[in-house]
Amino acid sequence: MSNSPNSDPELPSWTPLTRLAFRFAFCYFMLYAFCCGNVTVWEMIPRIGGIIEIWMAKPFWRTAQWLGPRLFHLHGISARLHVSGSGDRPLDWIALGLLFTVSVIATVIWTALDRKRTEYRTLHRWFRFALRLALAYAMLYYGLPKLLPQQMPPPSLAVLNEPVGNTSPMTMLWTLIGLSPVYEMICGAVEVCGGFLLIFRRTALLGALLTALSMSNVVLYNFCFDVSVKQYAAHLLLMALVLLAPDIGPLLSFLLHRPTSPHRIAMTPDTRLGRRIEALCIAVLLVLGVGGLILRYGEIYAQEQANLRNPPAITGQWHIDAAELAVNGTSTPQPYFAGDGLPITDIFFEPTGRANLRATDRVLWRARTRYNDAKHTLWIGWAGQGDVLYDVHWSDPSHLVLSPAAGGANNGYTLHLRKIPLPQHYPLLDRGSHLVNEWPFER
């Protein structure tokens, strides 16, 4: 299969339908990549990137929040913007509908103002280049924490001590993948390879193929196991398919053993200015994007490995015997509420430094923690209450009190916790894999 950039003959003018499809794809995917994606390209730029992302996305989110209660009859927490860890909130779907509508309107206006244009080859090449970098960053963003691995941690104490019938499909999937770090690392390696291959023009086609295959599996996982990133995963798959579209014909010819060559449209314009812009964008992605991700995930990985070697003293299941909320200097009994308004009954501090908070409906809320044994402080960050810093007071090894730390961002709660004895061994963790089995090991 020849890959000579000069082997393609001059392409004919585009059909009206092709021009229309390109205009819409350009408007839609560029808006998504720069405004409303789960991971936008702005995130790779330290400090100012987050500010740019917020301002570009604000028109969609504010309009979605205004339309929610008025047009879609949303109420309560669903009617306002909030951090939840889900990419499929009602407002997410409304914002996506707005983005689609804006793209359609922009396409109509573009078509009306640019009726004489017969092709967009140069813009198409730059569009594909921008899409490649956006998709590459997203694949690296999600692939690296699997490669280490940390996106799917080992089975948590909360799940190990919960009847399997009470487990949600997403938690079951997370537990299954986290049970085998090797499998998770292989999945991460595929995503990372796809991301790196997308960056460079000569390997972009292979990267798009690898990404499409990988994301097809992720999309199946998300839809079949109710993982709340369906919208975003589907868009990453669509981006990969858009990148593959011009080469579908040559790829089919290659598989059918017919002479063919890839379309040169996959490349950016082969001019001095074009090559310089391409090199600069790739350098920014590698240095700021990839470098920042490696530092971020490397730090988390190192901390979790240190915690596993020397688990914090607070590790285990702790039942909330009492919770008090300080209001105007007076403490009154008050349940410690989860994000959906139900009281938290138990906190599971994992050996890795993560945590799970169980509500009265037995739903788990994921959190991150940092326990400082020397200062006797505990930081908890989770969607229900935000970042909270506590002073830890031990009554004895089985009882402790978490009180709001002076000078820390806190919610005013004082929690009285009692440790629940847990088993020391679990067959799910101890069994491992065996090449020779006399009987199927099922229990």
387: β partners: 381
Q: 422: helix, coil or strand?
A: coil
CA–CA dist 217, 215 (Å, integer): 5
CA–CA dist 183, 177 (Å, integer): 7
CA–CA dist 159, 5 (Å, integer): 54
Q: Tell me what pLDDT residue 10 has.
A: 53
Q: Decide which of 3.50.50.60, 3.40.50.300, 2.40.128.270, 1.10.1040.10 is the CATH code for 316-422.
A: 2.40.128.270
Helices 121-147/16-31 angle, 10° precision: 40
Q: Tell me what pLDDT residue 268 has.
A: 64
In the chain, which segments carry CATH 2.40.128.270?
Answer: 316-422
Residues 6+ apart with CB under 8 A from 118: 13, 14, 19
**Could you give the dihedral angle defined by the CA atoms of residues 150, 50, 140 and 180, in that order, rounded to the nearest 10 degrees?**
10
The backbone torsions φ and ψ at residue 377, rounded to the nearest 5 degrees and listed phi first, read -125, 155
Q: Which of 235, 280, 278 is nearest to 135 (CA)?
A: 235
CB atoms within 10 A of CB 417: 24
Q: Tell me what pLDDT residue 9 has.
A: 47
Q: 379: helix, coil or strand?
A: strand
Q: Tell me what pLDDT residue 266 has.
A: 52
CA–CA dist 205, 262 (Å, integer): 9
Are 129 and 273 in contact by the 8 Å Cβ rule? The answer is no
pTM of the model: 0.89
* Residue-by-residue pLDDT tens, the chain, 443 positions: 444 444 444 556 889 999 999 999 999 999 999 887 777 878 777 778 878 888 888 999 999 999 999 999 999 888 988 877 788 999 999 999 999 999 999 999 999 999 888 899 889 999 999 999 999 999 999 999 999 999 999 999 999 998 888 899 999 999 999 999 999 999 999 999 999 999 998 899 999 999 999 999 999 999 999 999 999 999 999 999 999 998 888 888 888 988 877 665 556 667 788 888 888 989 988 998 899 999 989 999 998 998 889 998 899 999 999 998 877 667 788 888 887 788 999 999 999 889 999 999 988 998 888 898 888 899 988 876 678 889 999 999 999 999 988 765 556 789 999 999 999 889 888 888 888 988 888 87
Give the CB-side neighbour count of residue 83, counting CA atoms within 13 A: 10
Residues 6+ apart with CB under 8 A from 414: 323, 324, 325, 326, 331, 401, 402, 403, 404
Q: Which of 41, 42, 35 is nearest to 59 (CA)?
A: 35
Q: Which of 108, 78, 103 is nearest to 92 (CA)?
A: 78
